Amino acid sequence: MKKILMFAITAIASTTLQAQYSGQVPTNLGGASQNAAAGAVISNFLGPVNEAYQKRREIDLDKFQGSPYTSNTFAPTVLKYNDEVVGSIYYRYNALNEEIEIKKTAAEEEAYQALVKDKEISLLINSKPLSFKTFVTDKKATINGYLSLIEKGSQYDLYERTLVKFTEGQPAQNSFIAAVPSRFTKFTEFYFQKTGVNRIDQIPQKNNKLLKLVDDSKKEELKIFLKENNLNIKSKQDLIKVFEYLNS
């Protein structure tokens, strides 16, 4: 199956996408026959939405605070398999369920499906790949999920993970205590991978804990860099500056 997919992908990529892009979504894959071929290949990567979420699939988001999605609308992107372009699709990321919902067109009436959780598959989001990975949390748990690459460096790669937590609402207990609506709360984790190491680790949100994770040869100079620039890695922008420094 994998060989068949790779043959089809290579054929599509070589005949329809000779001009490479930088995050641009292709608007034409070279005609009806090539669109059909790309659509057939993409179908191999689609499956049913997680059954555990099926009952809440068509929820009225206006009745909740927040959203299970990073964006409620489907956005265009390109799908790649083993670094080869498969074709253009529309996606929406369910961060509560850690599942990518896919449509082949922008048509509202088209039913969406779930993207298969395969580590060879990636989507280009703002010119950066979003893909399924195995990683280690700060609680030493090894889990799978979606990570978005923020920076690919000479020594360290920096990733971002977006999660959503659902909290059930509470009815008003009396006239003095108002009801609490159900809500979705979004939060972010960051991970890094050292070049040549087959392991991705969560980055703690404290400067001194990050220092323990870098090479001994970098510890002292990184400590000085953090202090002199008044950086706090709880800030995404400060964290990016730290990894740009580590990769310089």
Q: Is the pLDDT at 52 greater than 70, yes or no?
A: no
What pLDDT digit, counting tens, does each position of 146-180 carry?
Answer: 999 999 999 999 999 999 998 887 777 777 777 77
Q: Is the pLDDT at 53 greater than 60, yes or no?
A: no
| Highest-scoring range by mean pLDDT, 6-10, 131-135, 164-168 | 131-135
Mention every residue, 6+ apart, whose C-beta is less than 8 A from residue 224.
none
- Closest C-alpha among 89, 94, 90 to residue 57: 94
Please tell me the pTM assigned to this model.
0.77
> How far, in Å, CA of 146 to CA of 100, rounded?
9
Q: What is the mean pLDDT of residues 77-90?
A: 91
pLDDT at 48: 61
C-alpha to C-alpha distances, 177 to 31, 58, 174, 180, nearest whole angstrom: 61, 30, 6, 9
Q: Would you call 177 helix, strand, or coil by DSSP? A: strand
Name the amino acid, one letter, at 200: I
